[in-house]
Each structure stands twice: as structure tokens, then as C-alpha cells.
Amino acid sequence: MAAAREIVILGAGHNALVAAFYLAQKGLKPLVLERRAMAGGAAVTEEFHPGFRCSTVAHAGGPPLPSIVRDMQLSKHGLETLESPVRLFAPSLDGRALVLMTDPIAASKQIEQFSKKDAGKYVELHKALKRTGAILSELLTLTPPVIEKPSNEDLWKLFKVGRKFRGLGKKEMMRVLRWGPMAVADFVAEFLETDLLRAAVAARGIYGAAMGPWSAGSTALLLLRAASDPYPVGNSAFPRGGMGALTSAMAAAARQAGAEIRTGAEVESILVKNGAAAGVVLRGGEEIPAKRVVSGADPQRTLLGLLDPVHLPPSFAVKLQHYRSNGTAAKLNLALDGLPAFTALRNVSDGNAALAGRIQIGPGIDYLERAFDDSKYGDFSRAPYLDISIPSILDNSLAPAGKHVMSIYMQFAPYRLRQGDWTQQRDALADTIIKTLAAYAPDLPGKILARQIITPKDLETTYGLTGGHPFHGELALDQIFTMRPQLGWARYRTPVKGLFLCGSGTHPGNGITGASGANAAREILKDLR
């Protein structure tokens, strides 16, 4: 039996590393156990073809909260962020190119080619999201209150958020309250008339979710994301060296603070004695006693897999079984002999610059909805929504000279297929993605040197994401804030004393912000006091 530890953390994803850092800062020396050979969880950089590396799963996200970047001093640990002036390039099948710059005014000038009305409205939308996001950002670092009996601290923090919310004025307050439950298709229609532009913004409300743009509550997801980045089409920055460079910097900061990280250490079960967490057992039989156990894995894997459910109240276990965590996302990584030529950029003077940000294939609201329709009936989309990055344009360390890597995030691919399984359908999925993209860049198939397809099943088996869900569970109105992962259990604690959650299955649970890990660490420190 190993020596007893104060705290053991399961998994070395970004939230677990953030939690480890803050706990180590207080002298607790947490032990982080990661089953894979590298830290980072789903935010890793891996070589998938000789000489070609890319962000294997997450290729953009977050961004990490500024407070976390500052506290962890990530730049001192090698983090360098790259960002193109272009946030998003969205081509249409009729050959037109929507190129949206980071600067809203510059973006509006590009939008004028489609609609002069939309040019002004886009700037208005950006300002609205910036105002709303500034208030919602306060919620990202807030521990959700206990609805039945909020503490004085809960009430004070909610009061401060409410005061800022009132500062919007009555008219805008009513708008924000109305927006949350809305379908994102209706939300964007209140500002914009161009279908291509509407879809470019609306896609942010369905990214990673089992929802289409006409699904109620999809605007809430867009607003949640605006809390960390107010630009209508989202973030396009990424670390030099891929997303793995971010988690490598986080791991270095955690180690420097006093945490220990062991890779190749798979936790098989969580020990419970006298109703409290008592440590973990690794595959192979090694037992590690601990006073506190913190899981960066998703709620179902932690509480229904690693923990014997006999230690949970029956009603809690039943509700957790119905926690929605079946994903609809897949990933395709391509090694390319050169940059593809997009038809929509044939008359653009510097087409490569337009490709340096994110590229979106989703030319209309109805297109996005039809892509979702396929998944509702157990099939992957035959004309999918794609979010694409070619990081090697800005970062030449990812591919040999003159070559490139293309990272393609795809929706919708349901975890459970109506016919066959993902072993049988993986090549068909990759072919569909390439065929869809080739309609916009006809020379792409001839430039492919190698491909790596990651299905929802691969996300589960390789990266430990139950149901293949990239966010550890659906981000829907009934699974966010005080209801993530379950009403009454949104404060990072579990029914087992001394067992905590710190992953994306807790509030706010969105992207690579690190907020879940930081919030969980704060609550664990309170518990220790």
C-alpha cells in the first residue's frame, strides 16, 4: 500500500490541472493520476502521421480565464498564443466568401458585400454580447447556490451579479431574460438577415450539443460562451504547438506549485470507508489512501463507474443514470501536401490569410437543422456542420515545410447508431466529411497524405469521455448552473463525504476556460478548513 495522501485527483485534463495548481498553492501537494501516457485529457497535441502533429480532439476553445492564466503564469511555462486577424471564414456553395475579422468594424465592412443592414447590425450584436457577457462572466466563477437554503455568501454574490444586471436598464434586462430560452435561429434573426451570417453566429449555440438551431434553449449556450469571449462567432486563438502546449504549461505550473503528476496510472475504483472517500485503487491493485478524492472525469464515469453506486442515495443514482451525456461530435485530422484552394477565395488577394482563422461549413440555418435531423434518428449527417482549423499556417512546428495539418470538428455523429456500429462506419464518416468539404475546396482530396478519424466511441474509449460527449454532459437549460450535474449537487461535492468533482460535468462546464477546476479547488479548500 502506498503512503497516504491528503488529496488524490483523478485524470489530468485541463480542469484537473487547474484544481491541482490551486490546491498545491496552499501546500496540499495533491497527487494527480492520469491513465494515458500524457497529461491534458482531450486538450492534447499528438503526432498522427510522421512529421504531422495537431490538436487531436479540442482545436479551439475557452479561452482560459485571464485570472487562471495570470495565477498559473502560463507564459513563463511556455504558453504562446497565436491568433489570426480573421476569426472566421464561411464559404457558400455559390462561391461567395464571408470573412469575419476580429475587429467588428473591419468585419462589418466585409459583411457589406452581403447586406449593408447586417453590417451595422453585426456591430450592434457584438456590443450586446459584450454587455451581456460581462455580466454572465461573473457567473463563471460563482459556486452555484443551494436553491432551498442559500448561504449568506451565496446571497451576497448573487446580489452583486443582480446589481450589474440591473445596470443594463429595464429594456435590455427584459431582452436578456427572453433570449435565454430562445432557439438560436430566432435570436440571430432579430439582428441579421443574411442566412450565411446567421448560421455563422448560430453555430456557436449548437457547438458540442445535441441541438439544432431551432432547439429551444440553444441561445443560452451561445450566451454562456459569450461570457468568456463576446465575439459573435467565437474564438480562433490557439497555442503554439497545439492545445497540448496549453495543458503542458498547466502541468508544469501545477508541478512547480507542489503537485505530483503520474501518467500511465489508471484508477480502477474509488475506496469508501464509513461513508467517506478513503482513496483509490489502480489497475494492477495498487492502493493509494487519501483523505480527499477529486475527480476530473465526467459525473457518470466517476459516480456510476469508479464508485460503487451502493454508496449513493438511490434517488441520486437514478437521476444520474438519466443525465444526458451522449455526444454528437466527431473529429477528422488530415495531413496535407499543401493548402487546399477554396472556390470562394479564388478572387481574394490573400486567400491564405482567410484560412488562418477558423473555417465553418454550415451555409444556412436550415442546413444546420438538417444536419441535426440525421442524428436524431441514429444516423450521422450526410451534409455535416464542420468547424475547421489549419493551425500550420501560423505554426510551422506542426508540419514539414510546405505541408499542412487540417483539424476538422464534425457534427452531427450520434454516439449510438441506428444501423451498425462505429467500427463499421468510421471510414464512411471520414469519407462523408471529406466529400462535404470538397464541395468548397475541390482539390482537397488530392492533397490528403493521411487521415485520422475519431468517432464518438473513440472519444469514450481513448479519451475517457462517457458517451463521447466533449463537455462531460449536455449543456442544456436543465443541465447548467444549479442543475449541473444535478439539482442540489452543483457545488462540486457529491453525496460521498470527501469526494469531489472538478471536470466539465460541473458548472460552468464549457470549453477550455478552466473555471470548473478553479471553482472546485475553492470549495475543497473551504471543506478542509
Q: What is the pLDDT of residues 41-51, one digit of tens each?
A: 999 999 999 99
Mean local confidence (pLDDT), 43-62: 92
Q: Dihedral (C-alpha) 217, 503, 150, 527: value to the nearest 10 degrees?
A: 180
pLDDT on residue 506: 98
Q: Give one word for 234, left, alpha or beta, with left for phi > 0 and alpha for psi -120 to 50.
A: left
Amino acid found at 527: D
Cα 426 to Cα 212: distance, rounded to the nearest angstrom: 23
- Band of residue 61 on the pLDDT scale cut at 50, 70, 90: low
Instruction: Look at residue 207 in the predicted model and tell me its pLDDT.
Output: 96
- Residue 179 sits at φ, ψ, to 5 deg, of -65, -45
> Is the per-residue pLDDT at 357 higher than 70?
yes
Average pLDDT rounded to a whole number, residues 85-99: 94
Yes or no: say if 64 and 512 are a contact pair by the CB < 8 Å rule.
yes
pLDDT at 351: 77
**Biggest CA-to-CA distance, the chain:** 71
Q: What is the pLDDT of residue 163?
A: 86
Q: Is the pLDDT of residue 253 over 80?
A: yes
Over residues 132-158, the mean pLDDT reads 87
In contact, 8 and 524? CB cutoff 8 Å: no
> Can you tell me the mean pLDDT for 199-223?
97
Full DSSP string of 431-477:
HHHHHHHHTTSTTHHHHEEEEEEE-HHHHHHTT--TTB-TTSS--SG
Would you state the cell numbers that stand for residue 416, as one nine-digit string?
A: 449510438
Q: Write the pLDDT tens digit of every residue in 427-445.
A: 999 999 999 999 999 999 9
Q: What is the mean pLDDT of residues 30-54?
A: 97
How much is the average pLDDT of 125-146?
92
Categorize the per-residue pLDDT at 59 as very low, low, confident or very high, splitting at 50, 70 and 90. Answer: confident
* pLDDT value of position 4: 86
Is 5-43+247-321+475-528 assigned to CATH 3.50.50.60? yes
Element (H, E) at 336: strand 329-336
3-state SS of 45-103? EEEEECCEEEECCCCCCCCCCHHHHHHHCHHHHCCCEECCCEEEEEECCCCCEEEEECC
**C-alpha–C-alpha distance, residues 117 and 283, integer Å:** 61
Q: How much is the mean pLDDT over the chain?
A: 95
Predicted local distance difference test score (pLDDT) of residue 146: 85
Q: SS3 for 287?
A: strand
**What is the C-alpha to C-alpha distance for residues 51 and 175, in angstroms, rounded to an integer?**
51
